[in-house]
Amino acid sequence: MPSTWLITGATSGFGRLVTERALATGAHVIAVGRRRDRLAELVQLAPAGEITTLELDLTAPDAQAVLEGTVRAAGRLDVLINNAGYGLFGSVEQIDADEARAIFETNVLANLTVLRATLPALRASQGRVLQTSSLIGQFAWPSSGLYAASKGAVELISEALAHELAPTGVKVTIIEPGTFATEFAANLKVILPNDAYAPTVGKFLNDFSQLPPEAFGDPNAVADAIMTVAALREPPLRLAVGADAVENIRASLRSRLEELDRWETLSLAPAQQTV
């Protein structure tokens, strides 16, 4: 029996590339996205009967029920690619409450909606969960605070989930891509900094905008990595993809360890009593 995959954010970027690859293996794909025209394109590409398209806003109140019904109709689910999300860059202070709420609703709460809708079927098949994070799910740059926080939330939710699901046979992997040439940059929201943040947020955004095309990796590398991990009997919990992801995550981890060591004496000192 062919495997069944559910892929969110299937109409562009990594989601689109993985959808195409999964279809090429003979899998039945439930492709979830908000763009009807892009979903129609996938139908044209797919062999007859091997794709189910679902036009859905994952933040909608009925999203979980719609997903549950779709998975039930498919009869099984073997692989979840929980990939939908968008970027938001700007100083922490200047991102207002509505923008902050929106990024967490899409990148975190909708991610949880998808998990709740699919995990019963994935437990039944001892399937795979792949959660799309980012290299800045492990640390933050100037301007990335809210976006990095949303991806950091996905990272810790996924780590807990991996522990919780271990006895069931379901495997969880967090994909941490670096900088790749997808539609991400075209779709992200940027809040331009005021004078107070020009030396930090402004400089970072300007430097990033000046990166040459060769600084952006081929997104096919991420799609290939996802396909490989999905097939592994014992996949990693985290997989950084791209040289910049490996380099920056390693540097962040080393910095945190060095700081932990530097302040260990204070950390372990008895609490000072106050009079």
Residues recognised as catalytic: 133, 147, 151
Our CA angle for 200, 150, 176, nearest 5°, is 90
Select from 167, 176, 179, 172 the least CA-distant residue to 211: 179
With beta carbons less than 8 A apart as the criterion, state whether 178 and 243 touch: yes
Distance between CA atoms of 81 and 231, rounded to whole angstroms?
A: 13
Of 180, 172, 178, the closest CA to residue 155 belongs to 172
Which amino acid type is present at position 147? Y
**Within 13 Å and on the Cβ side, how many CA atoms surround 30?**
26
CB 176 within 8 A of CB 245: yes
| Closest by CA position to 77, among listed 129, 141, 15 | 129
